[in-house]
Amino acid sequence: MELDINGQTAVYGIIGYPVKHSKSPKFQTAAFSHLGINAVYLPFEVKPEDLKKAVEGIKSLSIKGFNITVPHKEEVIPFLDEVSQEVKYIGACNTVVNLDGYLKGYNTDAYGFIQGLKELMPDLEGKRYLVIGAGGSSRAVVYGLTKEGAEKIYIANRTVSRAERIAEDFKSLHRFAEEVIKPVSLGQVEELLDRVDVVVNTTSIGLRDEDEPLFDYSKLGKNHVVVDIIYRKTPLLKAAEEKGCLWQDGLPMLLYQGAKAFEIWTGRTPPVEVMRRALTEK
C-alpha cells in the first residue's frame, strides 16, 4: 500500500495504554486508502495520568478524530464537549470527532456488536439472551440488545451488583426494559441455558486457554448461538463449534465499531469488506 503524505493529510488515531496490539490502524488505513481519502490513522500510547493533556493535544494539533481503548473509555468523557445518548447510558466512549476544536464523543461498540451478531442471526427481536459479564463491553452489548427488542436479557456476573447496576441504569431505555433485563449470579448460568437462544461472553475469561471456565461448556445445546467478544477462538467457542452451534468471535464487533467510527469521521460509506480483509489477513 502506497502512502502519499503531504501538507493536507488529515490525522486520525487511537489512544490506549497499551495500544501496540491494536488492529485499528491497519483496517482504518486500508479504508482511507481504498476511498482515496488523504488521511492517516496512528496509534498513540497515552498513560492514564497523561489523558487530559493528550485530549488537549488532540485539539491543538487538529487531529480530526480518534478512537479510545482500554483504559481510557470511561475517563475520557469529562474532557469532551458533548457526548451521544449511547455514551450517557453505556458510560464509555470509544469514538471522538473533532469539529474545529469541539469534541463530540460516541460509543460505536453497541452498534458493532449488533451488526456483527446480525451476520449470524438477521432477526434479533424477540430473542432471549444470556450475557456473561457486567463490565464496560457488557453495558454496550446489553444496550444494543435492549434497543433491538430482546425479549429477555439475563446478565450473569461474578459481582452481581454490577449486573444490577446495568438493569437499574437501563430501566428508562423503553417501556418494558425493566422486565427484560434480569441480573443473575454466575452460578445460575447452567440452569438458564434452556431458557435462552443466544449466549454472549463479555468477560476476559478465555483470553488464555487455561482460564477457569465460566460454566460447564458441554451443557451448551446445538441450537444456541454463541458469541465471545474476545478476538480469538476461546474454549467457549471451541465447545460451541463441537456442539454444532452457530458461533462468532470478537472480530465482527471490532470491524463494525470501526466502520461506524469511519462513517462518523468522514460521512462516507465505510468499505466494510476492505476493512474486514485488512483485519483478518495475517
How far, in Å, CA of 3 to CA of 30, rounded? 10
Q: Which stretch binds ligand NAP (CB under 6 A): 21-29, 136-144, 177-185, 218-226?
A: 136-144
Q: Confirm or reject binding of residue 133 to ligand NAP (CB under 6 A).
A: yes
In the β-sheet with 181-185, what is the strand arrangement from edge to edge?
181-185, 152-157, 128-132, 198-201, 225-228, 246-248
Q: Which stretch binds ligand NAP (CB under 6 A): 25-33, 81-89, 146-154, 248-256?
A: 248-256
User: Which of the stretches 77-85, 127-135, 143-151, 164-172 binds ligand NAP when contact is defined by CB under 6 A?
Assistant: 127-135
- Stretch 45-74 residues interacting with ligand NAP (CB under 6 A): none
Which span (60-68, 98-106, 131-139, 190-198) binds ligand NAP, by CB under 6 A?
A: 131-139
Torsion of CA 33, 35, 39, 40, to 10 degrees: -40
Compute the distance between CA of residue 201 and CA of residue 11 in angstroms, rounded to an integer.
34
| 162 near ligand NAP, rule: CB under 6 A | yes
The grid cell for 39 is 488521511
Contact flag: residue 90 with ligand NAP (CB under 6 A)? no
CB of 260 to ligand NAP, least distance (A): 11
> Residue 198: enclosing H or E segment and its boundaries?
strand 198-201
Q: Extract the C-alpha cell encoding 49.
A: 495520568
Fill in the per-residue mask, 105 to 124: x = in contact with ligand NAP (CB under 6 A), - = not in contact. Answer: ----x--x------------
Q: Which of 73, 104, 127, 147 is catalytic?
A: 73
Out of 14, 15, 145, 230, the only residue in the binding site for ligand NAP (CB under 6 A) is 230
- Residue 67 contacts by C-beta under 8 Å, 6 or more apart in sequence? 13, 14, 15, 24, 94, 95, 96, 258, 261
Closer Cβ to ligand NAP, 28 or 202, answer by number: 202
- Residue 26 and residue 19 in contact, taking contact as beta carbons nearer than 8 Å: no
Single residue of 22, 67, 137, 248 touching ligand NAP by CB under 6 A? 137
By CB under 6 A, the count of residues binding ligand NAP is 23
Active site residue 73: yes
Closest CA to 230 of 257, 256, 212, 248: 248
Ordered alpha helix ranges (H), the chain = 24-34, 51-60, 85-90, 109-120, 136-147, 160-169, 177-180, 189-192, 235-243, 251-266, 272-280
For ligand NAP, which is the closer residue by CB, 65 or 183?
183
The values of phi and psi at residue 235, to 5°, are -55, -35
Give me the torsion for CA of 171, 187, 117, 163, rounded to 10°.
Answer: 30
> Does 205 sit near ligand NAP (CB under 6 A)?
yes
Site membership for ligand NAP, residue 158 (CB under 6 A):
yes
Q: Is 228 in the site for ligand NAP (CB under 6 A)?
A: no
Judged by the rule CB under 6 A, the positions of this chain that interact with ligand NAP are 109, 112, 133-138, 157-159, 162, 202-205, 207, 229-230, 250, 253-254, 257
Residues recognised as catalytic: 73
